[in-house]
Amino acid sequence: MTARRSTTLLVAPILALFALAGCATTAPGESEGSEPGADAPAADSPASDTGCLIDKTWQLDVEDMAAQLLTQMQDTGMPVVAVSGFGTQELQLAEEGLATNSVDVTFELTVAPADAPTSITQLRQFGSAYGDWAWDAASDRVEFSNWETDVQLELTIEIEGVVTNLPATDLPLTDSSGADMSVTCAGERLETRPEGSPFVQRWNVGD
């Protein structure tokens, strides 16, 4: 298997980290979703505790996501010996039903296969996205629709001092519609799990 092919396979679990809120690599302006006009509940709605979510700037714990990624890759037998993450991702859910998400996060993976040179892979995702959000009180879920995104990916691999930039066309694409997510929120701590993702995203209220 070529270095490019094996590196591309490594990217798929990383993209699951970015699943929240349509951090996608599809073309800007592309959108899909459920019927427009779905409103978020009022902050004091008796049906849910969305007051914990609304009108705060939630900042992702990127180091925690890197630790989860390392565990998940090692559990599935990938020869990844270290993962680090740096940058920021912010989520805002406005009471009037608008969700915004901005990201500039890089994950760096050190891969040490037994029969090949050690490589360092970096995946950066950057840009912003926005759309409608609505609360499903029956399942404690946030649902997204009418999503617009300009998020992009950059991927590099370094082997024995030689750095190669892989074109975006070599990367798997994610859905542009925004990934619905289960939510647990208390005070200044938020946990989300995007639909179909093995990862729990942990957020803190920013300044």
58-82 pLDDT tens trace: 999 999 999 999 998 899 888 999 9
36 CB-near residues (< 8 Å, 6+ apart): 132, 145, 146
Q: What whole-number percentage of the chain has pLDDT above 90?
A: 43
Q: What is the pLDDT of residue 44?
A: 37
Q: Per-residue pLDDT averaged across 12-30, rounded?
A: 48
Mean pLDDT, the chain, whole residue set: 78
| Entry pTM | 0.78
Percentage of residues in the chain with pLDDT exceeding 70?
70
Q: 13 falls in which pLDDT band (50, 70, 90)?
A: low
